[in-house]
Structure 1
Amino acid sequence: MGNNSNYQLIEDCEATNKSLYNFYAAVMIVIFILALPLNASVLHLFIFKLKFWKSNSNNIFLFNLVLADILLLFCLPMKAYNYIQGERRSSNDIVCKAMLFMLFLNRGASIAFLSVTSIDRYFNVVHPGRKNLLKAIKKSPQISIIIWLLLLPLTIPTMLQNFDCCNSHKNDDDKKDDALIKDVVDSLREAVFFTQILIPFVILVYCTVRIVNRLRKKTVGDRTKLKRAVFLVTAVMVVFSFCFLPCTIARMILLIVRVKELDEVYQDKAAVAFDGLMVLSYIDCLLDPLVYCFCSTKFKALYLSNYFPFLIRGTQLPVESSTDHTLRPVCNTVL
């Protein structure tokens, strides 16, 4: 498969199945409309009500998780516009690279903060008396700053080439040196793509299993709260698996199809499936605040009292205590 026509499909940004990409665009618009106000309202509570910087590390991580989700959401309208125009990516090289950089930076940040939140809960539940790095700087944003700084150089390879628009292939006219550089960049990019999902998934599974086992062994405490805690940590793993594992598998299949230089029709189907499952991964922006924040009864009370006070009947729950950083943090009440 060495002729130039075979590379046209790989290098071209045109969407071959325009009706399907219109559906992808509609899904992203719905995600944007639903998730943006939800995440923005949660972010407002973290800043002005909970004062996350005065709280423990878990609230700091959750704030950064919501922030990363919001930044990713701002990329979706442009991506949806490209799909409606019949393009898999923007035809403008600078816009394409900038969009990919923002998407993968904030997606990586969302996964990273999801992972450290699980690790923090793991130590709090399984090893409550053990000194650890997260507890040592629990009132400091140092870990969050380090995560953002580490993600920047890891995401740079997405700006060096157009990822899927100009992906991982060279034709016979490429210079040898340029081809070598492309191969190195492509290999690094693919390594980052897979490790930023597979490693956190392993961490998440381990933390979830240990936390659930520890909670089920507890003989004291409110059984309702213990069941809610088990549901929360299990839901986190289910959401992660549902949103991120399918696109990872699709990416692996897409690479195999292209490396083996199979027929164009198979490459096209693999690319379309990958793009669709990437859209599925953006649902994580909608599910994160629901899973992490609204599983807490105190946070739900705080949210309702600020945005939907008319829904609260009878005696209002003491939500003010949840803003006191000397008490147990809102998002940790279930644990």
Structure 2
Amino acid sequence: MPYFSYVQYILYISTHISTTMNNTTCNKISFEFKTKFLPPVLSCVFVVSLVANGWGLKSLLHNWKKLGSVNVFVLNLGLADVLYLLTVPFLVVYYSMEDKWVFGTTFCKITRFCFNLNLYGTIGFLTCISVYRYLAIVHPMTELGRITAKRSVVVSVMVWLFVAAQSIPDMFYPKSRVNGDPQCYDTTRATFVEDYLYYSLGWTLIGFLIPFLIMLGCYGHVIVILCSKNISDKVLKQNCLKLLFILILLFSVCYIPFHLLKNLNLYSRVLERRKICHEWSERVYVANQISRALVCLNCALNPLVYLHGDIVAKFRQLLHQIRNTFMRLSII
């Protein structure tokens, strides 16, 4: 009899928990933080990025005849930033109106598409720059003359096509809810969120993680070469190491939090749809909005990193000095 009583008790508890879980409705996440945080941040990013990119593109156009391999990628970085900046004022209006999108569904998808082109286009061109620097520093003799501006243009076109191919599927996901005020989701509505999570994970792997590992490999090898070789120019070594460190730091701050928190936020939405509630869901949502501000900040940082003080011209001079140093070492 005690055994049957125990079994009945277990069945009662299981049924009670199941019923409780099915009847549980997760607390709705407050969107107040986003509507107060993003508009001023995006406005500041827009002003700073517009000035920095305008100055950077003007500097490149002024030295158009001297356009080199690295400059081609820097130019495309600037174009990717400008493409996104054109959509920022509409996003500021959207978030200021508490998520009310008044510019139409088609333009909503175009806006999100431009954001993705900027995001993954920037990652792609940063990767190209890192590979170029790797070849120019680690293999200066074998690659001398092979890396031309024309080949850089071809590579840039391939990067744009590859990034567009990754971003186009995102446009087929619904960006607004069925009822109520029109919205413009950066991902998709709850009905398709589970499918979108798988797409986002694949996108993160191909568009972010693999390029990031390539960058780490290139820069890691460059640092080893600069530290192990007998290069007498200490200023040359220090400047190169500082530049590589800054690039890796900016890449990590802007992109790692965004991709991590974006997918984690999508996962929390999947759990919420399955009636599985967690207290950390709202904290993840807030952190995800902060990471979106960080990744947008990249538009302002790109020109400052690559173009401040005509850094492109300085980098070309830096490569020339490195090649001369390796030639002297090979003769000895």
User: TM-score w.r.t. structure 1 length?
Assistant: 0.75
**Superposed counterparts of 1:1-335, under 5 Å:** 16-47=30-61, 49-51=62-64, 55-87=67-99, 92-131=104-143, 135-140=146-151, 141-162=153-174, 164=185, 167=188, 169-170=190-191, 187-261=198-272, 262-263=276-277, 266-294=280-308, 299=310, 329-335=313-319
Pairwise CA distance, 1:286: 1.3
* Letter aligned with residue 51 of structure 1: W
Deviation readout 1:25-66 (Å, 9 max, x if unpaired) = 11111111111111111111112x2216x5331111111111
Deviation string 1:124-170 (CA, Å, 9 cap, x unpaired) is 111112349x9354433111111112222211122111464663743
Q: Secondary structure at the match of 1:37?
A: helix
CA displacement at 1:330 relative to structure 2: 4.2
**Any stretches of 5+ residues in structure 2 without a counterpart?**
1-20, 176-184, 320-332
**What is the CA distance between 1:71 and its match in structure 2?**
1.4
Report the alpha carbon displacement of residue 208 of structure 1 after superposing the two structures with TM: 1.4
1:203–1:168 Cα change, 3 Å: farther
* SS in structure 2 at match of 1:263: coil
Q: Equivalents in 2 of 1:98, 1:28: separation in Å?
A: 18
Partners of 1:232 and 1:292 within 8 A in 2: no
Is residue 250–residue 270 contact of structure 1 (8 Å, CA) maintained in 2?
yes
Q: CA deviation at 1:245?
A: 0.6
Aligned-pair identity in percent equals 24
Say whether the 8 Å CA contact 2:33–2:286 is kept in structure 1: no
SS at match of 1:130: coil
Answer whether contact 2:38 2:92 (CA < 8 A) is retained.
yes
CA distance in 1, matches of 2:318, 2:269: 47
Report if aligned partners of 2:116, 2:167 keep a CA contact under 8 Å in 1: yes
Per-residue deviation at 1:91?
7.9
Quote the offset at 1:205 in angstroms. 1.3
Distance of 2:280 and 2:103 partners within structure 1: 23
Instruction: Give the structure with the larger helix fraction.
Output: 2
Letter in 2 for 1:334: L
Task: Measure the CA separation in 1 of the matches of 2:194 and 2:81.
Answer: 31
Q: Structure 1 166/66 Cα, relative in aligned 2: closer, same or farther at 3 Å?
A: closer
Shift of 1:3: 8.5
- Alignment check: 8 A CA contact 1:254 1:270 kept: yes
- Contact persistence 2:254–2:297 (CA under 8 A): yes
**What SS is found at the alignment partner of 1:282?**
helix
Cα deviation, residue 83, structure 1: 1.2
1:200 is displaced (CA, Å) by 1.8
Offset from partner CA, 1:264-298 (integer Å, 9 cap, x none): 8654443332122111111111111222222xx6x
One-letter identity of the residue aligned with 1:28? L
Give the Å deviation of 1:230.
Answer: 0.6
Cα RMSD over matched residues? 3.1
Contact 1:39–1:66 under 8 Å retained in 2: yes
CA contact 1:90–1:96 (8 Å) conserved in 2: no
Helix, strand or coil at the partner of 2:132: helix
Partner of 1:128, secondary structure, is coil
- Give unmatched runs, 5+ long, in structure 1: 10-14, 171-178, 301-321, 323-328
| CA pair 100-193 structure 1, distance change in 2 beyond 3 A | farther
Residue 317 of structure 1 is matched in structure 2 by none
SS in 1 for 2:150: coil
Aligned length: 286
Using the TM superposition, give the Cα deviation of residue 246 of structure 1 relative to its aligned residue in structure 2, in angstroms: 0.8
Q: Aligned partners of 1:158 and 1:2: how far apart in 2?
A: 32
In 2, the alpha carbon distance for the partners of 1:192 and 1:260 equals 21
Larger Rg: 2
